[in-house]
Amino acid sequence: MVHVDIAAERLFSIGPLTVTNSMIGGLLASVLLLSAALWFGRRASLVPSRATSVLELPIEFLADIVRGTGGTRWRRFAPLVFGIFLFLLVANWLSLLPGVGTIGYAETGADGNRFIVPFVRAAAADLNLTLGLAIVSFVSFVGFGIWANGVRGYLRELLIAEPAYMTPLLTPIHLISELSRLISLSMRLFGNVFAGEVLLATMLALTTATLFLLPLAFVVPGIFFGLELLFGLVQALVFALLSMTYITLAIAEERQHSGNDHSGEAPATAAASAEHGSA
Amino acid sequence: MDLHTLAAGLAMGLGGIGPGIGLGIGFSKAMEAIGRNPEASGTLFVPYILGLALTEAIGIYALVVSLIILFATK
């Protein structure tokens, strides 16, 4: 039987702060990203070296998407989207390295079974991290909405529906849908990464018994390992793209009331009102 | 072997039906659109990924519920 713990295991405490093994995973990913940024930032030149151009591939891929769908002010929130994407990508792929989730100390559970408490656990296989990231995303899209529309414009957009008599019906739905973004963002990432870990462990446990007859124990988990590489990329992309879409929506709400109390950029407003007129 | 196991299996199995149908519809429509207009595959990519992610989230909720039933309520 595979030992599965839905919460991250506690390793040690520094004062009131409990350090869990998924915090170690998140810290490793951050340290890796920061040191890569320092290393390559110092060597930045107009003609990229081979290693730099490989590292620029994911950035260029995402930059094309953000430029294409982020609206006119994509430069403002592009760093946040890149940051979320790169952190989650590194954290997800780091959790697939051998040793993560397998090297640890032995402990005896309440039912007498012995299991391993790993030193490093996938960072996103802990609801605390994914909920924290979702809160960052939530605060940023509310903040960008206020920044683009002003406090009054934002509150009006949030609380008053388009035909005013529909307000009592539509406003609760609107509020719930805003808040449910928090839950769906965090649960999606947590569920995918955690299920990936459990899936790999289960596949390995299922095929270990065949080790002396067929090399299934090498083939079957390998297939799912490749699948997990893909899922790690897709989930990082989905989290970043959804954050970007929410921010873009919050900024673009201005278009419906263009020229009321906030003067946006002139070409953008003209294009938006033309779009609004044709819609 | 108790009712927890059955409940977790039912939660995941029944919860997988809807997202499965939804993902199939979304994927087939995207393929249809790319088949009709292959140049649109670039612009289709982001809405396609987002739509699949939103659909798949329902299945993930079922998964989280069944994992909680299996491992966190004993």
ipTM of the complex: 0.78
Q: Mean pLDDT throughout A196-205? A: 84
- Tell me which chain A residues have a C-beta less than 8 angstroms from the C-beta of B63: 191, 195
Q: pLDDT above 90 covers what percent of chain A?
A: 15
Residue A58 CB neighbours (<10 A) = 16
| Rounded to 5°, angle at Cα A142 from A140 and A144 | 65
Number of domains observed in the structure of chain A: 1
- pLDDT over 60 at A272, yes or no: no
User: pLDDT value at position A253?
Assistant: 57
User: pLDDT value at position A256?
Assistant: 52
3-class secondary-structure state, position A12: strand
Identify the burial level of A130 via C-beta atoms within 10 angstroms of its C-beta, where 0-12 means exposed, 13-18 middle and 19 or more buried. buried
Q: Quick one: tokens of A122?
A: 């996938």
Say if A55 falls within a structural domain: yes
Q: Quick one: tokens of B27?
A: 């994927």
A 13-52: CB under 8 A from B: none
> Which band of pLDDT confidence, cut at 50, 70 and 90, is reported for residue B63?
confident
Q: Which domain range does residue B35 map to?
A: 3-71
Say if A204 falls within a structural domain: yes
Number of domains observed in the structure of chain B: 1
Say if A102 falls within a structural domain: yes
- Tell me which chain B residues have a C-beta less than 8 angstroms from the C-beta of A238: 49-50, 53
Say if A68 falls within a structural domain: yes
Q: Which domain range does residue A222 map to?
A: 10-278
Separation of alpha carbons A55 and A40, rounded Å? 9
Answer with the residue of higher pLDDT: A260 or A48.
Answer: A48
> Which band of pLDDT confidence, cut at 50, 70 and 90, is reported for residue A98?
confident
Type of residue numbered A262: H
Residue B57's closest CA among A129, A197, A189? A189
Residues 6+ apart with CB under 8 A from A225: A96, A200
Beta strands A10-14 and A104-108, pairing class: unpaired
CB A172 within 8 A of CB A278: no
Separation of alpha carbons A261 and A112, rounded Å? 67
Q: Phi and psi at residue A18, in whole multiples of 5°?
A: -90, 125
- pLDDT over 60 at A274, yes or no: no
- pLDDT over 80 at A217, yes or no: no
Q: Mean pLDDT throughout A90-103? A: 86
User: pLDDT value at position A61?
Assistant: 82
- pLDDT over 70 at A257, yes or no: no
User: pLDDT value at position B35?
Assistant: 92
Say if A140 falls within a structural domain: yes
A187 and B57 in contact by Cβ < 8 A?
A: yes
B61 and A191 in contact by Cβ < 8 A?
A: yes
- pLDDT over 50 at A268, yes or no: no
Closest-CA distance of chain B to residue A184, Å: 7
User: pLDDT value at position A120?
Assistant: 85
Separation of alpha carbons A154 and A256, rounded Å? 12
Q: Phi and psi at residue A11, in whole multiples of 5°?
A: -100, -60
Answer with the residue of higher pLDDT: A217 or B34.
Answer: B34
User: pLDDT value at position A89?
Assistant: 92
User: pLDDT value at position A1?
Assistant: 59
pLDDT in tens, A54-88: 777 878 888 888 888 777 788 888 889 989 999 99
Separation of alpha carbons B43 and B45, rounded Å? 6
Say if A5 falls within a structural domain: no
> Which band of pLDDT confidence, cut at 50, 70 and 90, is reported for residue B74?
low
Separation of alpha carbons A217 and A201, rounded Å? 11
Say if A2 falls within a structural domain: no
Separation of alpha carbons B70 and A1, rounded Å? 13
Closest-CA distance of chain A to residue B54, Å: 8
CATH (domain of B15): 1.20.20.10
pLDDT in tens, A10-27: 888 887 888 888 888 899
- pLDDT over 90 at A204, yes or no: no
- Tell me which chain B residues have a C-beta less than 8 angstroms from the C-beta of A5: 71
Q: Quick one: tokens of A180?
A: 């449910």
Mean pLDDT check: name the lowest of A107-116, B38-47, B60-69: A107-116
B60 and A188 in contact by Cβ < 8 A?
A: yes
User: pLDDT value at position A166?
Assistant: 78
Q: Quick one: tokens of A38?
A: 């320092």
Most confident of A67-81, A216-230, B13-27: B13-27
Say if A161 falls within a structural domain: yes
User: pLDDT value at position A208?
Assistant: 76
Answer with the residue of higher pLDDT: A217 or A133.
Answer: A133
